[in-house]
Amino acid sequence: MTPGPIPLFAFDNTYARELDGFYARVTPSSFPKPGLQLLNEPLARELGLDVEALRAQAAEVLSGSRVPEGAEPLAQAYAGHQFGGLSPQLGDGRALLLGELIDTQGRRRDLHLKGSGRTPFSRGGDGLAALGPVLREYILGEAMHHLGIPTTRALAAVSTGASVRREGMLPGGVLARVAASHIRVGTFQFFAIRDDTDRVQQLVRYTLARHYPDQREASNPALALLNAAIDAQARLIARWMLVGFIHGVMNTDNMTLSGETIDYGPCAFMDAYSPGTVFSSIDQRGRYAYGNQPGIGQWNLARLAEALLPLLHADEPKAIELAQEALAAYPVAYTKAWLGGMRQKLGLVGDQDATAAPAASDEEDGGLAEAFLSLLEAQQVDFTNAFRSLSSALRGDTGKARALYRDPSAFDAWSRSWHARLAAGGLVLTDDAEKAARAAHMDRVNPLYIARNHKVEEALAAGVRGDLGPTEQLLAVLAQPFDERPGLEAYAVPAPSAFTEIYQTFCGT
């Protein structure tokens, strides 16, 4: 027998094999003229793929037009609370799982297509995606990844050659997405609300083995999973808050068990610091406003706890007690992660003493951080630039920082207490080398370049016209968010306020 061509992917499909009843098998749509728009080569290499072979076949294979060898396309079932109301049947309505890959570091990753046609979960939808939102998810996911925040990532963006009907006719696209898994809080809810406790149990075992293998032998697996999910989400949402990220649609079907950020729809980065910031056109009451995200995280995890309740304990009052105890750990874990991050952003800890006990109490350091945020809010200062400017201030050049404030004397006053705290922590303020080292440390946690809304929109507008140049340039900038590079000044300034005041983001569905 002559060997055939080497398959593009070495799929191993545990979801299909072990979770019968959790999905529907689907045949992806075949598109008339698929065209590769973007290929994430570093990610392809991380997945152990042959980049050149993939490039040659990506348009066909990553649009779903040709099912690659070894793939078992399936649409996953899930439910979810959307804006607080339960939708018992959502599921992959315009997406499918092609299969799982083991990456070069031994991690199992889903390869998933979004916009690949109708499925049994499509309800009234067309199963399609427009190219603009596909590019948007690509850009935002990469931005988050390079900020060090757990996230799904785009492997490719493909245009379909067909139009989709939205607010008009728009060019269609498919996003090839890589995730630790696509198991969501809503996946558990789907079976829990159908009283299918056996399937919830099966999903608990599968999820523990896949994401928290050290907990696999736990005496109470559902409780171990709940605790792990609570901890992962607390840390994730703290990371969002520390970079000014607003997810925009934190429904329970958009919250993963792996702790990765997922489903970049109407998300955006905040410019001027304001906890009430909302960009999403459909979030009219501000449920998913920037400042509400930590609380919504806990609300969603309470829905997970509810779904797991019959498995936590046979006796319901006891089960509720266990759930409440577990959920009580969320604000503690969140505050710990947030405060740890703030200490880094403010330079209160250096590289060498990251594990050492801080020199001031949590209350004191929390107070210092909150005072800074209040100052930003009162003077409508750009969140990203305010933190970034602190390293210059520490080096002795306060001009950059002070220029951000309408009333710089308020900054000066805060800065005095900041310096006092730095000194109390052992930083020798007369030692320039020591200050420079600390400032350099701050520059590795306070990004200079984020996905600025006007830059994203500029890139998307060109991208849907077939000019990927601005998108590629933006991706290159965002790939090194901490490294100042000459010529990129325009990427580090907030949008004009006239832009931000009317800026709205859309789900793109």
Catalytic site positions:
253
Cβ–Cβ < 8 Å for 28, 129: no
The DSSP line for 28-64 is PPPPSS-EEEEE-HHHHHHTT--HHHHHHHHHHHTTT
The nearer residue to ligand AMP, 260 or 365, going by C-beta atoms, is 260
**HEC-encoded secondary structure of 79-107:** CEEECCEEECCCCCCCEEEEEEEECCCCC
Per CB under 5 A, does 92 bind Mg ion? no
Per CB under 6 A, does 117 bind ligand AMP? no
Return the one option of Mg ion, ligand AMP, none that residue 398 interacts with (CB less than 5 to 8 A, by type). none
Q: Which stretch binds ligand AMP (CB under 6 A): 4-12, 125-133, 177-185, 469-477?
A: 125-133
The 8 Å CB, 24+ separation contacts for 114-117 are: 114/174, 114/175, 114/177, 115/160, 115/172, 115/173, 115/174, 115/175, 116/28, 116/29, 116/63, 116/64, 116/174, 117/26, 117/28, 117/29, 117/64
Q: Which stretch binds Mg ion (CB under 5 A): 110-118, 171-179, 223-231, 256-264?
A: 256-264
Tell me if residue 358 falls in helix, strand or coil: coil
The nearer residue to Mg ion, 137 or 365, going by C-beta atoms, is 137
Count of all residues that appear for the chain in the document:
509
128: DSSP letter: B
Cβ–Cβ < 8 Å for 480, 146: yes
The Cβ of residue 424 has, within 10 Å, a number of other Cβ atoms equal to 12
Q: Which stretch binds ligand AMP (CB under 6 A): 55-63, 120-128, 207-215, 377-385?
A: 120-128
The nearer residue to Mg ion, 129 or 393, going by C-beta atoms, is 129
Q: How far is the CB of 116 from ligand AMP (least distance, A)?
A: 10
Cβ–Cβ < 8 Å for 280, 266: yes
Per CB under 6 A, does 507 bind ligand AMP? yes
Q: How far is the CB of 356 from ligand AMP (least distance, A)?
A: 42
The nearer residue to ligand AMP, 77 or 149, going by C-beta atoms, is 77
Per CB under 6 A, does 93 bind ligand AMP? yes
First-to-last CA distance in the chain? 48
- Which of 39, 128, 319, 342 is in the footprint of ligand AMP by CB under 6 A? 128
Q: How far is the CB of 254 from Mg ion (least distance, A)?
A: 5
- Which of 125, 276, 396, 466 is in the footprint of ligand AMP by CB under 6 A? 125
Per CB under 6 A, does 94 bind ligand AMP? yes
Q: Which of 491, 362, 340, 365 is nearest to 420 (CA)?
A: 365
Return the one option of ligand AMP, Mg ion, none that residue 8 interacts with (CB less than 5 to 8 A, by type). none
Q: Which of 445, 500, 448 is nearest to 478 (CA)?
A: 448
In this structure, which amino acid lies at residue 403?
Answer: A
Mask for 225-264, x = binds ligand AMP (CB under 6 A): ------------------------x---xx--------x-
Per CB under 5 A, does 263 bind Mg ion? yes
- Which of 126, 196, 306, 377 is in the footprint of ligand AMP by CB under 6 A? 126
Q: Which stretch binds ligand AMP (CB under 6 A): 119-127, 271-279, 360-368, 448-456?
A: 119-127
Cβ–Cβ < 8 Å for 156, 40: yes
Q: How far is CA 18 from CA 111, 203, 330, 420, 429, in A?
A: 17, 9, 31, 58, 60
Mask for 183-222, x = binds ligand AMP (CB under 6 A): ----------------------------------------
Site residues (vs ligand AMP, CB under 6 A) = 90-95, 121-122, 125-128, 249, 253-254, 263, 265, 507, 509
